[in-house]
Structure 1
Amino acid sequence: MFRNSSFKRYFFNSSWMMAEQFLRILSGVFVGIYIARYLGPEDFGVLSYVLAIATFMMAISRLGMDAILVRELVSTPEKRQLLMGTAFWMMVAAALGCYILVGAVIWSTAELVSVKIYASIIAVGTIFTSCLVVDFYFQSQVKAKYSAACKSITLLLMSVVKLYLIFIQADLIWFVIAFLMDYAVLGMVFIVVAFGGREGGFLKYFSWPDAKQMLKSAWPLVLGGVAIQVYMRIDQVMIRNMLGLHEVGVYSAAVRIYEAWAIVTAIITVSLLPAIVKLKQGSEETYHKRMTQLFRLVIWLSVFAAIAVALVSEQLMVLAFGEEYRESAPVVDIIMWTAVFAAMGSVSARYFNVEKMEKKFALRTVLAAVLNVGLNFLLIPIYGIKGAAIATLSCTFFANYMMDWFDRDLKLLLRIKHRAMFGHPFS
């Protein structure tokens, strides 16, 4: 693989994204730990809860453009301004509609008024997700260093702001505003870079025919993206309503460790999407071989990470988050194995996108989300926060592996996964 010049190009592109993500992980670990220690499980639970709500909204407002727009930009680069503008304004409209709808639902519930206010504030960040079209353009051009630079600058700035808030012993609402500014500052930085590179003209373009075409491919990804967030985030919402905010904070600390690793494998697969699109246009044998190698890489890296964390989970949680979070250790032991199947699902999502099987992706994630909700209702009252971790692991295994057994169109994908996992020679 490393002797292949095309692969090396995408590998170094991925390296830029990986470098930015490792910086994000370091920030998430150190700054996140300080925030969790400072706020304590109760307030950290509130923060994690409102962030989970905002994540649902962002999954909808992205409209699956991280896959669809990259694919279209690779296939028709001469239409980049029109495609970017169309995607941008569709995402703005989706964000506004989502904010109004979710806001109405939140304020109609019996939730604490303070929590409603925090959720309303942080959800404003949804609107700034439309600026990510610049990021998607850089991905399509294999120019991840520009995206990485924008994200790193924002990350460093906002990390300093959050540490300053801890230093001055700020109230929880200022941390909510700081997380909102994460999205707002990044969006503005992307727009400034786009204008600096003479790509900002996309803002004046919109095409109904292109919008309809992209939405036709995007709606399964939107449904799938929302379903993914349901089975990755609904546990925090259900823990809040079934156990309390303290337990949300303890559980969220464990999830932070899992997410710090999961983002590594996710960024590898996302950054290689343009390469996968081009491979699909060439030799089928080479395409299948490279997919096998990619599956093998992310699966076994995740297995190694799960074993390594399990050996030191209790010491890790106490050292990192403090004695109040010791009970997070069993949750970490369980949920880190979710990373193995989440990595498998991340590569599978790219496969579905390239093969134009978005409806299958949507179906499996919706079924997994329904399964997760049911398992949470069943397991949380019995096993507490460990039950939520078991539910997440079970539905991720179901969605990203077991469902391949029941679909004749996915027999090839299943064989690729088996060759990746069990080391069978590719023929």
Structure 2
Amino acid sequence: MLNKLRELFKESFFYGIGNFLTKASGLYLLPLYSTYLSKEEIGLMGLYETAFFFLMAIAAWGTKSGFTRWYNEMKTRQDRQSLFFTTYAFNVVSNTIGVVLTALILFNLNVFETEGSERIIPYFCLAGLFRLLYDVPFIMLRVQQKAFKQTSYQTLSIAFTILFTFYQLEVENNGFEGIYIGQLMANGLTFLVTLPLIIKSCHFRFKSKLLGEMIRYGYPLAISNVLLHVLAISDRYILEAYYSLADVGSYSVATKVTNLLQFLVMGTFITSYTYQYYKSLNEEDNSRYHIKIFSYFMLFMVLAGIAITYFAKEIIFIIMAGKVEYFDAIPVIPFLMVGLIFSGMQQVFKLPLTKAKLTRLISIVTIGAGALNVGLNFLVIPQFGKEGAAVTTAITQLTAALCFLYQSRKIEGTQYEWRKIALLLTLGIVFCGGFFLIPSFSIVVDILIKIGLLALFILCLFVFNFFEPIEKQRITEAWLKWNKPRAIIDNIKSLNKK
């Protein structure tokens, strides 16, 4: 089990670097956006983002999920290359059709009634198409557990995005339109860089029968992904309808701050753990390993969630170039954080269902959760605004997590360490709630209080016996191994060695 934990940590580390760089690029770009864009335009950008994620979820008809599920079942290298070619060729066609339909919808229904939308929409759609064209190669590298190589490509893509966005806003002074011109240039160049990898990974044999199986497996997941995005879309559109784009802008900022948890902890873990899980489908029972992994996952999510909530004010001040009008996003963040933690639990609980190919069941649960979220949004947002939207999201995510847990226990019956999970969630709520009752003093004093509270949270875990004796020993060994700057550099270098 220890070797698998080390491998999971290594893969998560490199994915974490990529995710950190992605978020770091946002830390650079958001001040740039806030300088050249109005609060309303930042809110509009959030709506364009949801439109792209909707396209990304549905255009491939679920074949990306099927590719992930079937890849390790291919017995030869040639079979895996044929699977990649089949998946990629279908995605090129389906994504192109999806982008064209998206453009027609945005033009003809005039969804975003803003000046210059007739120029922005083509750039937005073409940038989205190029982004989709290099998505499957990135997935292949993750399935192959080549985290370092995938992170290298991702880092290059981020560098292109920062460079061309800066050029469009700072040099060309193209404003809101320049964002999507820059994205088009960056995504197009990234696609050209990945083209040799794409060609090298193809065996030009189209497996139509297998494609049909992948679509039947993955399309319910695609529908569920669409409904997941409804969780993000409905609250923003209803906020815009009852309040203003400025409120959508604040809510979008709160979401970006909260998603630090997604980028730094949840996304990196789920990415590594999912592909490790699929790779070991035919191995003997590893229930002890999965139980401990879930406890560690929850520990890091809750700890990071508390830290992000504590320092939300400082994060917003930095990423929004000191504009204090965005501080109204701070009360929203704790509720969004709770919802994101429940969302992370869902990702783990769904894995046994995907293993058993019960993707229709996943779709049914997610559709129900999406309907619940929309209904609650219409009831709550008109009266409670942004905070109400965040609370309904948390309620919906909890409901879906409980449903997936109930169904997954029928398949695997894994008994997680619920006492420890309850301890983490209870302490998390107490420490977050208590923090907002503490008055503000000065920047230095406030930061010291926050650091002290985080240290006290960790101390409480030891006091209430969250860690077993062997885990305390491993923590001590890890501290001795990583606590010196030179040791950190050497240990990071060793991670990329087999």
Structure 2-normalised TM-score? 0.77
- How far off its partner does 1:420 sit? 6.3
**Residues 47 and 263 of structure 1: CA distance in aligned 2, closer, same or farther (over 3 Å):** same
Q: Over the residues paired in the alignment, what is the CA RMSD in angstroms? A: 2.6
Residues 47 and 176 in structure 1, CA contact (< 8 A), matched pair in contact too: no
Residues 30 and 319 in structure 2, CA contact (< 8 A), matched pair in contact too: no
Percent identity over paired residues: 20
* In structure 2, C-alpha distance between the alignment counterparts of 1:77 and 1:183, rounded to whole Å: 33
* In structure 1, C-alpha distance between the alignment counterparts of 2:353 and 2:363, rounded to whole Å: 10
Q: Deviations over 1:271-327 (max 9, x none)?
A: 23232123331222x1x2222223222222221122223333334323432212111
Paired residue secondary structure (2:38):
helix
- How far off its partner does 1:354 sit? 2.2
Q: Deviations over 1:139-191 (max 9, x none)?
A: 22221221111110111121122233342343110112223444433333222
Given the alignment of the two structures, is residue 23 of structure 1 paired with residue 21 of structure 2, yes or no?
yes
Q: How does 1:154-193 map to 2 (within 5 A)?
A: 154-168=157-171, 169-193=173-197
Given the alignment of the two structures, is residue 228 of structure 1 paired with residue 232 of structure 2, yes or no?
no
Amino acid at match of 2:263: I
Structure 1-normalised TM-score? 0.88
**Residues 362 and 182 of structure 1: CA distance in aligned 2, closer, same or farther (over 3 Å):** farther
Residues 12 and 272 in structure 2, CA contact (< 8 A), matched pair in contact too: yes
**Residues 420 and 66 of structure 1: CA distance in aligned 2, closer, same or farther (over 3 Å):** farther
* In structure 1, C-alpha distance between the alignment counterparts of 2:390 and 2:159, rounded to whole Å: 31
Residues 50 and 232 in structure 2, CA contact (< 8 A), matched pair in contact too: no
Q: Deviations over 1:91-144 (max 9, x none)?
A: 223223323333333333354153465344313344331432222222222212
Residues 381 and 389 in structure 2, CA contact (< 8 A), matched pair in contact too: yes
Larger Rg: 2
Given the alignment of the two structures, is residue 337 of structure 1 paired with residue 341 of structure 2, yes or no?
no
Which of 136, 139, 142 is residue 139 of structure 1 equivalent to?
142
Paired residue secondary structure (1:280):
coil
- How far off its partner does 1:59 sit? 0.9
User: Which stretches in structure 1 are left out of the alignment for 5+ residues?
Assistant: none
Amino acid at match of 1:67: S
Higher relative contact order (CA 8 A, sep 6+): 1
**Residues 28 and 417 of structure 1: CA distance in aligned 2, closer, same or farther (over 3 Å):** farther
Residues 260 and 308 in structure 2, CA contact (< 8 A), matched pair in contact too: no
**Residues 418 and 85 of structure 1: CA distance in aligned 2, closer, same or farther (over 3 Å):** same
Q: How does 1:195-344 map to 2 (within 5 A)?
A: 195=199, 198-199=200-201, 201-202=202-203, 204-264=204-264, 265-284=266-285, 286=286, 288-321=287-320, 322-344=323-345
**Residues 371 and 154 of structure 1: CA distance in aligned 2, closer, same or farther (over 3 Å):** same
Residues 131 and 188 in structure 1, CA contact (< 8 A), matched pair in contact too: no
Residue matched to 1:82: 82
Amino acid at match of 2:126: V
- How far off its partner does 1:358 sit? 1.6
- How far off its partner does 1:60 sit? 0.9
Q: Which stretch of structure 1 is more off in the superposition, 179-188 or 10-19?
A: 179-188
Q: Which stretch of structure 1 is more off in the superposition, 112-121 or 380-389?
A: 112-121
Paired residue secondary structure (2:416):
helix
Residue matched to 1:123: 125
Paired residue secondary structure (1:221):
helix
Amino acid at match of 1:151: Q
Following superposition, which runs of at least 4 residues in structure 1 exceed 6 angstroms of deviation?
none
- How far off its partner does 1:227 sit? 1.0
Residues 164 and 185 in structure 2, CA contact (< 8 A), matched pair in contact too: no
Residue matched to 1:400: 401
Q: Which stretch of structure 1 is more off in the superposition, 363-372 or 109-118?
A: 109-118
Residue matched to 1:350: 351
Residues 127 and 180 in structure 2, CA contact (< 8 A), matched pair in contact too: no
Count of aligned pairs: 416
Amino acid at match of 1:179: Q
Residues 85 and 205 in structure 1, CA contact (< 8 A), matched pair in contact too: yes
- How far off its partner does 1:270 sit? 1.7
